[in-house]
Amino acid sequence: MKTMRSISVAFALACALGISAPALYAADPDAPVEKIFDAPHGMKISVKMAAPYAQATDLQIICVFKHKASGDSYIAAMKVLDDKLGGLLSSLRNGGYFSGELGETITFIPPGDSVRAKQFLVIGLGNESELSLQSMSLMGSVGVREAIRLQATHVSFAPVLRDQGSSRLDVGEVARSVEEGVILAYDTEKRLQAKGLASNFNVADWTIEAGPQYFAKVATQLPVGIETAEKQISERRNDGF
């Protein structure tokens, strides 16, 4: 896969998003802000140096671990996001409305002008002790199918694992696993659409958000994930579906 675009204006973007220089996602002015790659079925997959509360998108997706009675860990971007949403995430979880079981989802429209996304999708990760690359692939599959159901053309995804205190998995491998899940599930959806078994809809782009310290790792892993998924898709084409 070839990188289509690499922009070195991190500071300018941060200012445009209203993020101050010392803020969480501020970056070196010379660092690349976004790298975009071609994926199957015309989808663009990218890594962008952005925070989930500052990204303008049709659908913002985040993942949360199963709720703990002792209290959930919200740090860095998760803490800022919850604050900007007026404590909505905390209220949903502390009130027992959304526990975060593996694959559980909840969708809401952000209140007022709290964040820039039009809609929010939260996907449960289950217990942190059981977190795996397979479960992250599931996050991608669930996310892209929900994006189609919600008619979201532009989708952004933030795993926010570190922002919940988890360092079990490598950030780059997490992004690759999510991406593989996205591509394979989207391929299935496009096959159904081609046979008239589902309404036609295109997800134009899927953006994985990463902090400056993780941007390079994610950018390195995305082409690997695309190649792996493309190989699996080519093998699918021999199964008669």
The predicted-structure confidence for 63-88, as pLDDT tens digits, reads as follows 999 999 888 899 999 999 999 999 99
Segment 214-238 mean pLDDT: 93
Segment 17-42 mean pLDDT: 64
Asked whether residue 190 is assigned to any structural domain, the reply reads yes
Provide the residue range defining the domain that includes 173: 34-236
Asked whether residue 134 is assigned to any structural domain, the reply reads yes
Helix H or strand E encompassing 156: strand 154-158
Whether pLDDT at 50 is above 70: yes
State the pTM of this model. 0.86
Whether pLDDT at 183 is above 90: yes
Return the pLDDT at 240: 63
Instruction: Return the CATH number at 106.
Output: 3.40.220.10
Asked whether residue 158 is assigned to any structural domain, the reply reads yes
Residue 208 tokens, joined: 């994985």
DSSP code at position 58: S
Average per-residue pLDDT in the chain?
88
Asked whether residue 5 is assigned to any structural domain, the reply reads no
Cα–Cα distance measured from residue 112 to residue 85, given in angstroms and rounded to the nearest whole number: 9
Asked whether residue 7 is assigned to any structural domain, the reply reads no
Return the pLDDT at 21: 34
Asked whether residue 141 is assigned to any structural domain, the reply reads yes
| Ramachandran angles phi, psi of 160, nearest 5° | 45, 40
Angle 154-123-116 from CA coordinates, rounded to 5°: 40
The number of distinct structural domains making up the chain is 1
Asked whether residue 218 is assigned to any structural domain, the reply reads yes
Asked whether residue 18 is assigned to any structural domain, the reply reads no
Q: How confident is the model at residue 236 (pLDDT cuts 50, 70, 90)?
A: confident
Residue tagged 């209140």 (tokens): 111
Beta bridge partners of 48: 34, 209
Q: Are strands 44-48 and 205-209 parallel, antiparallel or unpaired?
A: parallel
Q: How far is CA 15 from CA 68, 226, 235, in A?
A: 36, 32, 45
Whether pLDDT at 161 is above 50: yes
